[in-house]
Amino acid sequence: MVQTHEKTATSPVNIAVIKYWGKRDTELILPSNSSISITFSKEHLQSKTTIRASPLFEKTRLWLNGIEEINVINNKRLQNCFRETKLLRKEYEDKLSKEIGIDNVIPLSTYHLHICSVNNFPTAAGLASSASGFACLVYTLSQLYELPVSATELSKIARQGSGSACRSLFGGFVSWQMGSKQDGSDSQALQIASSDHWPELEVLICIISDAKKGTSSTEGMQSTVKTSTLLQHRINNVVPERMKLMTNSILRKDFNKFAELTMKDSNQFHACCLDTFPPIFYLNDTSRAIISVITEYNDKSGEYKAAYTFDAGPNAVIYALKRNIPEIINLISKYFPPNQDNQTFFSDPSKLFSDKKKLGKLPLPANFNENIIPVFPNDSVKQILHTCVGNGPRVKKDESLLNAAGFPK
């Protein structure tokens, strides 16, 4: 009877408020600037991965959302994550057998793996699935291999899968320190504050329909590195100061400062995309209209009540304090009405609205200029997700995505 060695774990999505854009080393995935992100609750957005190691497996195989990825398995970034974790496992095995004198150490580092990974959100929605996916892979491997290493150590491995993945190793508020060493040994994620630090801070994600597939972040950022002079200014003169200011705004729970920095940094990232030659456009008309609505809302409120940010795609992520969330959902629903089905549009996990028919029909905030933008065609925003700040990766005991034979259930 061959013993099963298997672990299942979940990992969260993170969305940056100081953006990572540009690499100084594309092999090791070393960034040209530091960044800061917030980790979202896994209740609504997560990757889940089961990894089994067995001497009976003939090769390492990977299934993503139920489909075997025959080509992806040889992907260099994936191979880097396997190599680094196996190396640590081998060191650990040697230590156990040689230094501590334990017999029969299981040589997991030599076994092939079956890996099954699923997301509970549509991968096509462009919601940082590579970040949660690679963080989950590396974390689950570290648990399977029982590696005696910290989350920061693991972040250096996840970074080699996808840069932003290093920040998903932690919950709460996270920085990725760019580091300066050539070998990348100081380019790592650190937690600024845990998930319960600022419970009033919540998140709305507006999923925007976008038929065409845009430039990937990996390609886009290197094109910006090669051609944009604005990016050089950003790296040298803007981000270092913003890293300090953003960290302080988070530690002090100063939403006004946090919101201003978040919006400015998103704007500058997209300005760098426009400054790329040929230019890259990630925002579409709906994204820009959301910016107008939020700007008018903040103007008429006399303070920042909402902060938008956009990654390498048109979806809007809005950070706001809990008390202002219903007002913002009403605003978005008014200008970007759903198709008939209000339940799919906004599932209202926190039960904010007693009657969903009222979505978009409640009074606008005082003095709000109703004509700031026209009402958009139905379904321009497909869905609004409401979530909060969450924890880092966790092991799921008694759960498995693999059947007895080691194939997806």
* Residues making contact with ligand DP6 (CB under 6 A): 16, 19-21, 29, 35, 130, 162-164, 217-218, 311-312
Nearer to ligand DP6, 78 or 331 (CB): 78
Minimum CB separation of residue 139 from ligand DP6 in Å reads 16
Taking the least distance from each CB to ligand DP6, the nearer of 134 and 145 is 134
Q: Least distance in Å: CB of 140 to ligand DP6? A: 19
Q: Among residues 13 and 402, whose Cβ is nearest to ligand DP6?
A: 13
Residue 351 Rama label (left phi>0; alpha psi -120 to 50; beta):
left
Cβ proximity to ligand DP6: between 29 and 125 the closer is 29
CA distances from 249 to 17, 256, 261, 321 (A): 12, 8, 9, 14
Q: How far is the CB of 31 from ligand DP6 (least distance, A)?
A: 8
Least distance between ligand DP6 and beta carbon 312 (Å): 4
- CB of residue 344 to ligand DP6, shortest distance in Å: 26
- State which residue, 85 or 162, has the beta carbon closest to ligand DP6: 162
Provide, rounded to whole angstroms, the least separation between the CB of residue 77 and ligand DP6. Answer: 7
Reduced to 3 states (helix: H, G, I; strand: E, B; else coil), residue 48 is strand
Shortest Cβ 162–ligand DP6 spacing (Å): 3
Count of Cβ atoms closer than 10 Å to residue 254 Cβ: 14
Cβ–Cβ < 8 Å for 220, 312: yes
DSSP helix/strand/coil, 206:
strand
Question: Which residue lies nearer to ligand DP6 by CB, 35 or 187?
Answer: 35
User: Hey, how many other C-beta atoms are within 10 angstroms of the C-beta on 50?
Assistant: 24
The sign one gets for the Cα dihedral 86, 38, 288, 20 is: negative
For residue 113, give every residue at least 6 positions away whose Cβ sits within 8 Å of its Cβ, in sequence order, or none.
Answer: 51, 52, 53, 57, 60, 61, 82
Whichever of 174 and 373 has its CB closer to ligand DP6, that residue is 174
**Could you tell me the smallest distance in angstroms from the CB atom of residue 19 to ligand DP6?**
4
Residue whose Cβ sits closest to ligand DP6: 163
**Distance, CA of 186 to CA of 26 (rounded, Å):** 16
Q: Which residue number, 221 or 388, has a Cβ lying nearer to ligand DP6?
A: 221
How near is the Cβ of 305 to ligand DP6 at its closest, in Å?
A: 24
Give the side-chain half-sphere CA count within 13 A for 159. 34
CB of 63 to ligand DP6, least distance (A): 21
Pairing status of strand 173-177 against strand 5-12: unpaired
Pair 317, 17: CB distance under 8 Å = no
Q: Are 45 and 387 in contact (CB under 8 A)?
A: yes
Q: Which strands sit side by side in the sheet containing 201-208, from one edge to the other? A: 306-309, 316-321, 201-208, 381-388
Nearer to ligand DP6, 193 or 364 (CB): 193
CA distances from 141 to 132, 154, 157, 259 (A): 14, 10, 11, 36
Nearer to ligand DP6 (CB atom), residue 10 or residue 164: 164
Buried b (16+ CB within 10 A) or exposed e, 170-194: bbbbbbbbbbeeeebeebbbebbbe
Helix axis angle, 285-301 relative to 325-335, nearest 10°?
140
Instruction: Residue count of the chain, please give it.
Output: 409
